[in-house]
Amino acid sequence: MVEATQRGGFDFLGYHFERGYRWPRTKSLERFKDAIRAETRRTDGRSLAVIVAALNPKLRGWYAYYRHSHWTTFGRLDGWIRMRLRSVLRKRRGRRGRGRGTDHQRWPNAYFGALGLYSLEAAHACAR
């Protein structure tokens, strides 16, 4: 038996439980990010539509398992995934580094939505 209301909490089945909240444990989140990194290499020659199509099943599956996580988890991950995709687009324009600054105006979030990118935050908002 473990008291889930104490600081420190505990990990169980990929979740971290602490003080009445749950979110993906750190190791699970890193494995998910590694899977996304493998699909969003900046030197990948595939079109962005193909990359998004390869990402969507991973995003849907991950969300299906972790949909009970605290709501702040999903917005941060969505932003991180879009940053990875912006860095791919940046590389194709001959620029270096992560997607930032004016890249958010050049490729807004709606741009990725139009490509069909599955949004964890939107899925969570619909489920609530």
**Is the CB of residue 29 less than 8 Å from the CB of residue 69?**
no
Each residue's pLDDT tens digit, 24-69: 988 999 999 999 999 999 998 899 999 999 999 999 999 999 988 8
Please tell me the predicted confidence (pLDDT) of residue 4: 62
Average pLDDT of the residues in 95-106: 82
**Confidence tier at 127 by pLDDT (50, 70, 90):** confident
Residue 11 pLDDT > 90, yes or no?
no
Tokens at 61, concatenated = 């599956």
**Beta-carbon contacts of residue 87 (< 8 Å; ≥ 6 apart):** 40, 42, 97, 98, 99
Would you mind telling me the total number of residues written for the chain in this entry?
128
Q: What is the pTM of this model?
A: 0.87
Average pLDDT of the residues in 93-106: 83
Whole-angstrom CA distances from 18 to 2, 3, 21, 57, 62 are: 10, 9, 5, 29, 21
Tokens at 110, concatenated = 């709606």
**Confidence tier at 117 by pLDDT (50, 70, 90):** very high
Please tell me the predicted confidence (pLDDT) of residue 128: 80
Residue 12: beta bridge partners?
Answer: 15
| Distance separating alpha carbons of residues 81 and 102, to the nearest angstrom | 17
Average pLDDT of the chain to the nearest whole number: 88
Please tell me the predicted confidence (pLDDT) of residue 3: 65
The pLDDT > 70 percentage for the chain reads 94
Report how far apart the first and last C-alpha atoms of the chain are (Å, whole number).
Answer: 30
Only one residue has tokens 């940046």, namely 90
